[in-house]
Structure 1
């Protein structure tokens, strides 16, 4: 079984943002996202791999394969093309929340935004809370 490369580490989050976020807007949005995610999870930001800022963690085991690993409850990355938000679990009700979220693109489980003001932050908070609740219920011994 392969080992996940994206693991929690002790790299400095603020330094990462200042070095990695390519615009002042992405830096500003990153620090705002940190506050939103800290408030939602009650966890401090930690680096995951080289480019993801995560909050909290849980240990998952795939129901379809032998893959397992640790992953943050919530996270984001201020990538060059867009800010990647790891806040979506696909649990009941989240599709409806996406309808009022604002301007974004969707990957399989990732939401991509150009800037934070493009989305409704209240909807984002509700989405994040539903993801955290879902993960804590699904993996109660790990969060």
Structure 2
């Protein structure tokens, strides 16, 4: 188990509840399209913890909203904006207490996912499904 240090934030916060990994996976070599993900290990640990895939609906919507506002291990403190960097706190209701969660910015153009060629951003139901399928095959292969 590893921790997450978020010391650049206004209030230092070290989260030792889980391990968070972020990376890119190439899903379209011709266009240089890569999908970005956050993987958060279950606080319960072990191979027996359930595995969840989290996607956010709508084009260009980042899964960061699910990670930081809904089910992730930390959340933004909701308070009136005071001109400073937002504060973070531990999310006592995080789904990571019982499950591993893979948050994927999909399709290309959503969140931090990108394409080096404009054609890689021409997405629809079929191309988005193919990108996500390719992503999952590669991700599972690299994380047995």
Normalization by structure 2: what TM-score? 0.30
- Structure showing greater radius of gyration is 2
Larger relative strand fraction: 2
Larger relative helix fraction: 1
- RCO higher in 1 or 2 (8 Å CA, sep ≥ 6)? 2
